Amino acid sequence: MVDPANTSLGRMLLDEISPVVMVLRTPLVEEACLKNGLTFIQMLRPFCVFNNIDVPVRTASDQPYRLQKFGLRLFYESDIRQPNLEVAKERLKQVITQAAEKDVSELCSDLPQINNAVSRAENEVLPSWFQFFNKELVHTVSFSDHEAFDHPVACLVVVSSKDDQPINRFVDLFNTNKLPSLLTSGAMDPKILKHYLLVHDNQDGPLEKATKILTEMRSTFGSDCQLLCINSSQDGVVEHQDYPWVLYKSDDLPSQPRRCFLNVDDFNEIKDLMQDLSTKHVIPYMEQKIRVLNQQVSATRKGFRNQIKNLWWRKGKEDVVDSPSGPTYTFNSNESQIRVLGDYAFMLRDYELALSNYRLISTDYKLDKAWKRYAGVQEMMGLAYFMSDQSRKEAEYCMENAFNTYLKVAPSSQQNATRCGLWWIEMLKARYQYKEAATVYFRVCTEEPLHSAVMLEQASYCYLLSKPPMLHKYGFHLVLSGDRYKKCDQIKHAIRTYRSAMSVYKGTTWSHIKDHVHFHIGQWYALLGLYDLAANHVLEVLACSHQSKTMQELFLRDFLQIVQKTGKTFEVSKLQLPEINISSLRVIFEDHRTYASSAAASVKEKIWVSLEEEMIPNLSTARTNWLELQSKLIPKKYKESNVCVAGEAVKVDIEFKNPLQIPLLLSSVSLICELSENSDEMQSDANSLLSGLQNDGESTKLNHRDVNFENSLLSVSDVGFSLRGGETTVVQLTVTPRVEGILQIVGVKWKLSGFVVGFHKFETNPVKMIRKRVQKAKHPHSDNLKFVVVKSVPKLEGVIHPLPKRAYVGDLRNLVLELRNKSEFAVKNLKMKISHPRFLNIGKRESLNAEFPACLEKTNSDHSGVPANPTDASHSMFLFPEDTIIQGETPLLWPLWFRAAVPGNISLCITIYYEMGDISSTMRYRTLRMHYNLQVLPSLDVSFQISPCPSRLQEFLVRMDVVNKTSSESFQVHQLSSVGHQWEISLLQPVDAIFPSQSLMAHQALSCFFMLKNHGKPSTSEDEISSHFRLQGTDVRLGTQGSSEPLFDIASSPLADFHHCERLHQEILHKGDTSTVDFILISRPLKNDNNPVGSDPPHLFSHHACHCSTASTSSISWLVDGPRTIYHDFSAPFCEINLSMTLFNSSDVVASVHINTLDSSTSDNLNDATPVQPATSSDNQEGWHDLSLVTDIKVTSDVLKVRTSKSTPVESVSPFIWSGSSSTRVQLEPMSRTEIPLQVSVFSPGTYDLSNYVLHWNLLLSNDQGNRDSRSSGKCQGYPYYLTVLQSD
Amino acid sequence: MATTACFVIVSRNDIPIYEAEVGSAAKREDAAQLHQFILHAALDIVQDLAWTTSAMYLKAIDRFNDLVVSVYVTAGHTRLMLLHDSRNDDGIKSFFQEVHELYIKTLLNPLYLPGSRITSSHFDTKVRALARKYL
């Protein structure tokens, strides 16, 4: 533990609580001293403090002790009074303002680091003016009447030797009524020790006169007279090595030491004088007074009897005085005497004695409710405890008690409370209880903002100094202090505190704290005119999405104001308003791949690559040429970077997001680009090197090149838009390089509200390095943002019009593809490929001007219309004719046929490949990619069911089900065509019976029947092929009976082509069926619809149903033919009837057929395990068969047995028998027919069902066909064939 | 219900992961930052006190004028801090315990990264309901 006297509090107390000497002087004394630029007191002051006075002192006890440190406080009589509060405040303010002036330069420096602050020692952290400020605060309460230590102990009466009648002057000085009120009001004993001093100025004359006066004085006043000679230096200025007044300079001395006439002799004389005064007069006087008072006090107060008396007496006095300051005590009252005794003892370092007296008096004051005096005594007790290094707890308790008591009698004692608090704090600090000290500082705060600002700042430093440092509290108190500094316009101090606080709050995630600190410090910097700093701070709080709308507005408005005041364009890297979503960055550029629309660019590259696979020249062959060229033009190191073409825009999609609730106005949003020309390779290297260096240095700065120069090289788009609160917008920015070279997209810049330029640099380099090593970059933006700009080459622009956005299924339209080439160089070798050939078909050039749909109509001539495309156009690419060259202004128009094949959302991709006419260009070919999105809605749903006609061979019944699935459209069914010349379709009923209303309304369903005939020759494989060339078929008009509208030629180009596509597509579904038929239903929208005629181009709907199977499940069909009714005379033994069975093999392999005729006796044959399937029932024949049970439960053999047993005649003896061979076996060639004779013998008249025969058929498959079809054999029950035999008469 | 109350959950890295003004008093613009300052400053005290006791509820540990800071420290050193002007010790304790439970439930969410901001609106409504109930 440090000696309490050596702590800062100890030193402070030595300064503050030491005997006061009142100085009375004549004006001439002052005049003599002022020659040195010092007042009399100032001159003496350095010699008033004695660090090693070594005087023996004996107070109340008998044991003397030696006093080491001692000091005297000198005051003019005019200063011994309570200071004026207002003046004091003014002084304090001045002190603070002065302190602020010193720190201006610091305000602009970098922010302090918290680690530095922690590691620094206390003295370095605390501003020096704190101590001075505290001292001034303490002085505001000096010379209070309740504290005896401020009462003058002695009086120094000083007269100059130049004065007239010096003796009289001495008397006059003390007798004037200018004496301080303390002496006159009776608060203290007016009889004090007097000491007479004669000052002689050696410059004024010889010493003799002075010594004469001195002897005169001695005779008049006794021995307490002394002579002081000053200004002994004759020739003026004396330079002193250790100017003793330097220490006091800061107080109130003029800053420059003036001429000094004091020499070493004078110093020594003054020193001797003061020592003499202390040791020989003041201290003995105090000793004596202590002894006298102590005796009095012991007599009146010590001892049991006196205490009882005192207590009783006080009780009685209780109701006498109750003024706010408590009762008044004169100097000769007991209480005052005890207090004086205590204070004197304290000043003479006899703390035991002081304490005992303070204790004694404190109870008295408490009982008297003299709270201010009580508090004062408590305060002194605390200090005494501290100085005697006794119980800490007691000391703190006393200080707290004093503090609280002072506050209780507030506001008059506020200053006392402050002083008490400051001492208390020093006490705590001396014991390293910084945390507690800080709380006391906090309590010392008063209403007055300036005062509390300083206190709070000191509190914050206490938190910083406590172990471990409490940084959060440090920051908080700094902020509190800063706010109060601001309140009293001490902006520099406010900034200083906030700057310190910033070290705590830097990078904090406590959003409101961060906003508050940055915003206020920014505002204050702005008040000081440091707009750059201000803007930097306010910038931090701009993206405050958590704040309320008004706060956001306030922040933004202030920021803009500050920026405006800076008077220059303010550039901010990574300005938070608006936010840029870097991951959303998309770069669209066109090298050999060009895009017709932005939608095309957003389609996955994979799709395009697969589409273009066959079109673009083989890599190995293409590369040799292409690379060779490129390596000449492009430096090697850029080989891996992207290629773009001069004069063509590189587009960048950037997503901007407004994080605030208030709208933002953005203007001049553009890309920052660098383009270095590579006129020759060396220079380009140098250029790129240069730009590389620039990039390192100025990642947070914008470099401004010559704008004109830039403009000649490249042009960037300039976009302005406004973002509503919380809105996110994707903006497309473009840059168009004008010359060849290396283009680097560096970043994006924008103007916020017209004058704040924000920019954001894309930092791709680290990402790029990593990605490159792993694989090709996945996202466009992580590609290098560096482009090699090559010489401008022709570029095709294409558009298809009018491609509908929405269409109904089956919609058939005629479109035009328009290709333009703006450049003067020609392109040639065009090829085109379509991702969905079912939807788009390439027409003939001749049909460009043909009128639709008239061009599809059947004319009289057999080969009308455009013949179908001979090539297999469905999947391969389309080659434009060799001589197609697009150049200059003339566009190439080419007809396309569109047909909405299936419902759904369709993404149509079309890619067109073309080669440059100019061989010397860097690129030999390019591709144009077009993309359209299309919504196809369901319209008519057409399904066909075909079942063989049971009564005729090669004839079929066709049921067509049509459902209109649209919600509003009506259709008119126009025509139904069957495809293939072997098929012939015809109506079963007149059209009017089918279509009474002649149209299909929305949701309407319709079924109708047709007869389909397979006539003539069996088709061969050659025919199949030929049918591609020319679709032949028969048409059925389904329109109104009398309509003369021509039928459409299904063999004409688009219909046939689309039909072919449909066939190919639907083939997958109907695999393996050999005998199939295709139908095309053509309808058109009802003319008198809601939408006016003419707004819609005329269009047709064609519905293709392909591969409708005509075959039943078995590939063998037969027909039993013969007489139905026979007259026979049964007198003859029996009647023989000849029948013939025609067998037809519809499969493409040889079939072996085996017919078993059954008589009833052999009916058990039917009961074998394989169920016999009636020929009439086929799998895909729902709703179109006889209603026998078999279709539903054909697998159940039980039921079958019932049926077969039923089918056998009821009589036990069969009324007829099959005559002839009971079993016949024939071989049938593919697609051939044969006839087998059958014979039946009938024994009696009646009607007979000749169905009791069974056909076994077996396809003789070769090996490779073996697994193609599951049904290679089968067994069929015979058809019912009714034969009526009548008795002929 | 307290007229002023501000509830904050502070992660072990001193980052606020949940904030709510649960007082019934009309919201003042500058109150939010003052509350944050007070709570932020109280972290020092929590740091000192948390290791002196095994109890999770530290009671009122700090005050600023008439505002009191009560703290509850979880085992993972996440601090639930409540700034309030009412003296309802039992209510605050129950409030903390229930919020702790809610917080644990949040932690159990596999999609919640411990130490990140709690954005669940369900959590928010629950906490506010608890505040109405206990404070």
pLDDT over 50 at A770, yes or no: no
A917-971 per-position pLDDT tens digit? 766 666 778 888 888 888 888 888 888 878 777 667 777 888 888 888 888 778 8
Of the listed ranges A73-82, A1198-1207, A1265-1274, A1275-1284, the one predicted with least confidence: A1198-1207
Q: What is the mean pLDDT of residues A475-488?
A: 89
| Pairwise pLDDT comparison (A1240 vs A1045), residue with the higher score | A1240
Running DSSP on this structure, what letter comes out for residue A279? I
Q: A8 with A16: CB under 8 angstroms? A: no
Which pLDDT belongs to residue A804? 80
CA A126 to chain centre: 42
* pLDDT at res. B80: 92
Q: Which pTM was predicted? A: 0.68
User: In 3D, which of A1221, A1204, A1226 has the Cα closest to residue A1280?
Assistant: A1204
pLDDT tens digits, A177-199: 667 777 777 777 777 888 888 88
pLDDT-above-70 percentage for chain A = 74
A202 or A1074, higher pLDDT: A202
Instruction: State pLDDT tens for residues A526-535.
Output: 888 888 888 8
Q: Give how far B127 is from chain A: nearest CA, Å.
A: 19
Read off the pLDDT band of A75 (50, 70, 90).
confident
The alpha carbon of A512 is separated from its chain's Cα centroid by a whole number of angstroms, namely: 18
Which tokens sit at A119? 């590691």
Residues of chain A with Cβ-Cβ distance to B43 below 8 Å are: 472
Most confident segment among A692-701, A739-748, A1025-1034: A739-748
Q: Which residue of A has its CA nearest to B9?
A: A510
What does residue A173 show for φ and ψ, rounded to 5 degrees? -55, -45
Task: Check residue B23 and give its pLDDT.
Answer: 74
Structure confidence at residue A1193 as a pLDDT band (50, 70, 90): very low
Q: Which among A992, A9, A942 has a CA at the least distance from the CA of A432?
A: A9
* Sheet containing strand A1282-1287, strands side by side: A1125-1128, A1282-1287, A1246-1249
A590 pLDDT exceeds 60? yes
Q: Which residues of B touch A476 (CB under 8 A)?
A: 37-38, 40-41
pLDDT at A328: 66
| Chain A contact for B50 (CB, 8 A cutoff) | no
A1192-1201: average pLDDT:
38
Residue A705 pLDDT > 90, yes or no? no
The domain locations on chain A are: 10-82+151-285, 301-414, 579-590+648-790, 796-842+861-936, 939-1109, 1116-1287
Q: Name the range with the highest mean pLDDT among A630-644, A725-739, A871-885, A1032-1046.
A: A725-739
Q: Closest Cα partner for A73 from A265, A227, A274? A: A274
**Beta strands A925-937 and A806-808, pairing class:** parallel
Check residue B17 and give its pLDDT. Answer: 92
The CA R_g of chain B, rounded to the nearest whole Å, is: 14
Q: What is the pLDDT of residue B105?
A: 92
Please state which of the ranges A405-414, A458-467, A860-869, A961-970 shows the lowest mean pLDDT: A860-869
Least confidently predicted of A222-231, A652-661, A688-697, A887-896? A688-697
The candidate with the shortest Cα–Cα distance to A438, out of A404, A496, A477, is: A477
Instruction: Put the strands of the sheet holding B16-21 in their side by side order.
Output: B16-21, B5-10, B79-84, B67-73, B57-64
Residue A64: both structure tokens together: 């003397």
Residue A1123 structure tokens? 């007489």
Range among A143-147, A586-590, A912-916 with highest mean pLDDT value: A912-916
Q: Does residue A684 or residue A979 have the better pLDDT? A: A979
Does B15 sit within 8 Å of A472, measured CB to CB? Answer: no
Distance (Å, whole) CA A631 – CA A683: 17
* Top mean-pLDDT range of A119-123, A303-307, A473-477: A473-477
Burial group, residue A136, by CB count within 10 angstroms (0-12, 13-18, 19+): middle
CA A343 to chain CA mean position, Å = 69
Superfamily of domain A579-590+648-790, CATH level 4: Immunoglobulins (2.60.40.10)
**A434 vs A440: CA distance, rounded Å:** 10
Contact criterion met (CB < 8 Å) for A515 and B33:
yes
Give the CATH number of domain B5-134.
3.30.450.70
Architecture label for domain A1116-1287: Sandwich (2.60)
The DSSP secondary structure of A651-679, one letter per residue, reads: EEEEEEE--SSS-EEEEEEEEEEEEEE-S
Helix axes B89-108, B121-134, angle to 10 degrees: 160
Name the residue with higher pLDDT: A1130 or A862. A1130
* pLDDT of A678: 60
Task: Say if B43 is an interface residue toward chain A (CB within 8 Å).
Answer: yes
Q: How far apart are CA A1158 and CA A1276, in angstroms?
A: 13
DSSP assignment of A811-853, as one string? EEEEEEEEEEE-SSS-EEEEEEEES-TTTEEE--GGGGS--TT
pLDDT confidence tier of residue A253, bands split at 50, 70 and 90: very low
Question: What CA–CA distance (Å, rounded) separates A167 from A413?
Answer: 43
**Per DSSP, which regions of A708-777 are E strands?**
714-716, 719-723, 728-737, 741-752, 756-761
Q: For chain A, what percent of residues have pLDDT higher than 90?
A: 0
- The single-letter DSSP state of residue A1151 is E
Q: Tell me, which fold does domain A939-1109 have in CATH? A: Immunoglobulin-like (2.60.40)
Residue type, B26: A
Number of A/B CB contacts below 8 angstroms equals: 41
pLDDT of A1151 > 70? The answer is yes
* Chain A residues with beta carbon closer than 8 angstroms to that of B117: none
Task: Give A452→chain B minimum CA distance, Å.
Answer: 14
Enumerate the domain spans of chain B.
5-134
Locus of tokens 């030629």: A1049
Mean pLDDT comparison of A735-744, A1017-1026, A1068-1077, highest-scoring range: A735-744
B41 interfaces chain A, CB cutoff of 8 Å = yes
Q: pLDDT tens, A234-244? A: 665 555 555 56
Cα–Cα dist A900/A1104, whole Å: 11
Nearest Cα to A296, choosing from A311, A306, A283?
Answer: A306
Chain A contacts of B46, Cβ < 8 Å?
none
User: Taking residues A242-263, what's their average pLDDT?
Assistant: 55
Q: Which of A463, A473, A513 sits opposite B36 (nearest CB)?
A: A513
Interface test with chain B among A487, A504, A509, by most B beta carbons within 10 Å: A509
Q: How confident is the model at residue A1167 (pLDDT cuts 50, 70, 90)?
A: very low
Asked if B10 and B79 count as a contact pair (C-beta separation under 8 A), the reply is yes
Q: What is the distance between the alpha carbons of residues A289 and A898, in angstroms, rounded to a whole number?
A: 126
* pLDDT score recorded for residue B108: 92
Give the pLDDT band (50/70/90) at residue A875: low
Q: What is the pLDDT of residues A1217-1236, one digit of tens each?
A: 787 766 778 888 877 778 88
- The answer regarding whether domain A10-82+151-285 maps to CATH 3.40.1560 reads no
Stretches in chain B below the pLDDT threshold 70: 1-2, 25-29
Residues of B in contact with A470 (CB under 8 A): 44-45
Partners of A715 in beta bridges: A736
Taking only the tens place, the pLDDT of each residue in A1077-1116 is 788 888 877 765 444 444 455 677 888 877 776 665 566 7
Q: Are A103 and A129 contacting, i.e. CB atoms less than 8 angstroms apart?
A: no
The DSSP annotation for A202-243 comes to TTTS-SHHHHHHHHHHHHHH-S-EEEEEE---SSS----SS-
Cα A282 from Cα A275, distance rounded (Å): 10
Tell me what pLDDT residue A1113 has: 55
Give pLDDT, residue A1210.
42
Question: How far is CA A241 from its chain centroid?
Answer: 68
Reply yes or no on whether the pLDDT at A651 is more than 80.
Answer: yes
| Interface check A472 vs B, CB under 8 A | yes
CA angle, residues A292, A297, A299, in degrees to nearest 5: 100
**Mean pLDDT score of chain A, rounded to an integer?**
73
Same fold for the pair A10-82+151-285 and A301-414: no
The pLDDT value recorded for residue A329 is: 73
Mean pLDDT of all residues in A447-456: 84
Q: Cβ of A514 under 8 Å from any chain B Cβ?
A: no
Identify the pLDDT of residue A267: 79
CATH number for the domain running over A796-842+861-936: 2.60.40.10
Task: Bin A644: left if φ > 0, else alpha if -120 < ψ < 50, else beta.
Answer: beta
Report the alpha-carbon distance of residue A1243 to residue A846 in Å, rounded: 75
What confidence tens digit (pLDDT) does each residue in A94-114 have?
A: 877 877 776 666 666 666 666
Task: Pick one of 1.10.10, 3.30.420, 3.40.50, 1.25.40 as the CATH number of A301-414.
Answer: 1.25.40
Average pLDDT over residues A855-878: 54
pLDDT for res A876: 65
In B, which residues are within 8 Å of A465 by CB distance?
A: none
B124 touches chain A (CB under 8 A): no
